[in-house]
Amino acid sequence: MAAVREAQVTWTGALVDGNGTINEVTSSAVNGLPVTWASRTEGPEGKTSPEELVAAAHASCYAMAFSHMLNLGGTPPTKLEVSATVTFDRVDAGFKVVSSALKVSGQVEGIDAAKFVETAEAAKDGCPISQALKGNVELSVEATLE
C-alpha cells in the first residue's frame, strides 16, 4: 500500500523579498508555517525553511529505521535521541543542499558500543529519506551509546 502525502504552499513576491506560507499538509498536523529566502540563507527569525523540514523528515525517518533494526537484532531501544543537521550552501551552479549529518544517542540494553555504531550506519543506509538523498547529498551519522 503506497502512502501519499501532500503539502500546499502559497508564495507571493520575488525570491529575495517575497514570502510563502505552508498552508496545509495531508495530516493537518502543521499549517500556516511562514517560509522566506532569508529563513533559508540567514536566520530563521520564527520562519521555517525547506532544509529545516528535510532535517525533521530525516531525523524522524532515521529514528524509525534505527529502532526497527535494533529490534530486529534482538535489542530494542529504550530511547533514541536523533538530530539531523541539513546544510544548504552556495555551490558553483547556485545553491544546493550539500549534506545531512545525523547524530544519535541511545539507551539500548544488551548491545555494545561497536554493534550500536555498526547498526547506526546500516540504519542510515536503510532509512527511506536517506535513500532519497543518497548520491546527491553527503550523508553521515555519529552514534553514541549511553
> 56-87, pLDDT tens digit by residue?
999 999 999 999 999 999 999 999 999 999 99
When pLDDT is cut at 50, 70 and 90, the band that residue 15 belongs to is very high
Three cell numbers, residue 40: 533559508
- Predicted pLDDT at 93: 83
**Which residues lie closer than 8 Å to 114 by C-beta, 6 or more apart?**
none
The yes-or-no verdict on residue 1 having pLDDT over 90 is: no
Residues 6 or more apart from 36 whose CB is under 8 A from it? Answer: 18, 19, 20, 47
Query: Would you say the pTM of this structure is higher than 0.85?
Result: yes
Q: pLDDT digit string (tens) for 88-139?
A: 999 988 999 999 999 999 999 999 999 999 999 999 999 999 999 999 999 9
The overall longest dimension of the chain from CA atoms, in Å, is 56
Tens-place pLDDT, residues 16-54: 999 999 999 999 998 999 999 999 999 999 999 999 999
Distances (CA, A) of 32 to 17, 39, 106, 135: 19, 15, 33, 32
DSSP label at 39?
A: H
Contact 24, 9 (CB under 8 A): no
